Amino acid sequence: MSPFFGLLLGVLLLVPAIVIAIPVHEMGHAAAAYFLGDRSVRYYGYLSPDPRRFLEPIGVIAVVVALVGWGRRVPVQSNRINTTRQRVLFELGGPAANLIVAIGLGFLLRALVRAGLPYSFDVGPGLVLAAIYVIVFLNLSIFAFQLLPIPGLDGWNIIEALFRSRNPRFFYDVSLRRREIWAGAVIVLIAFQFLARVNILWYVMAPFYEPASLISIGRCDGYAIPNLTALFPCLL
């Protein structure tokens, strides 16, 4: 397989994964909000699987470039989702949805492999199972990435929900400097990648990604787009 064709195939396999994993994450937030009492998410169509409502251009580009991503955040009514418990459950809804889909499709993938169906990233019938694996991988990746304690991600929002009342000024200052924090994080990632040949995401995502991958597909594995990027958050 030529380098160009390998790159093209790696990107194309991400397309169905993006169309599923990002909407699943945001619909998980919407479902959590709905069951917590905010019916507006249904009225405004956030329980609909239409990917156009959830896909965000920079978040999609991030998937292709770094194999992590995000979508358009589901708005909720603050008077409905206002207690600490409600806010935490709402933030956990997105990662939980990704994890459930990853485990369900992971079990399906293992069953199909045991049944003798081909599984290969080469051109042929095995690409069907490979496409299922990429969907599993991206759901696991978004699940683990969103749990990181970085402003704007679900992990940070959970921390803020738990501790904002104790130090509101700190969290206010962080929210004002979100762009600077993200710019600094990207610079650190690039610096380590090019100077030390280390992808920090592999290590910071591993505590979430690795056990979820073991449950889903029975092993910890990642994904690579030849000549572009790779993500293997496994420390085994």
Is 234 contained in some domain? no
Q: Which residues, other chains included, contact 220 with Cβ-Cβ below 8 Å and sequence gap of 6+? A: 209, 210, 213, 214, 233, 234, 236
- For residue 55, give both structure tokens: 């896909």
β-bridge partners, 223: 231
Is 84 contained in some domain? yes
pLDDT-derived band at 65 (thresholds 50, 70, 90) equals: very high
**How large is the average pLDDT for residues 129-147?**
97
Percent residues over pLDDT 90 in the chain: 78
Is position 26 annotated as part of the catalytic site? yes
Q: Residue 1: its pLDDT value, please?
A: 65
Is 100 contained in some domain? yes
Q: How far apart are CA 53 and CA 49, in angstroms?
A: 8
Is 38 contained in some domain? yes
pTM for this entry? 0.94
Domain count, the chain: 1
Is 182 contained in some domain? yes
Is 236 contained in some domain? no
pLDDT above 80: residue 168 = yes
**How large is the average pLDDT for residues 150-178?**
94
**How large is the average pLDDT for residues 4-21?**
93
Q: Are 112 and 136 in contact (CB under 8 A)?
A: no
Q: How far apart are CA 207 and CA 46, in angstroms?
A: 30
Reduced DSSP (H G I as helix, E B as strand, rest coil) percent helix, strand, coil of the chain, to 5? 65, 5, 30
Is 214 contained in some domain? yes
**How large is the average pLDDT for residues 210-223?**
96
For 73, 230, 233, the CA distances from 6, given in Å and listed in that order, are: 33, 13, 22
Is 78 contained in some domain? yes
The one catalytic residue in 26, 91, 160, 210 is 26
Domain encompassing residue 43? 3-229
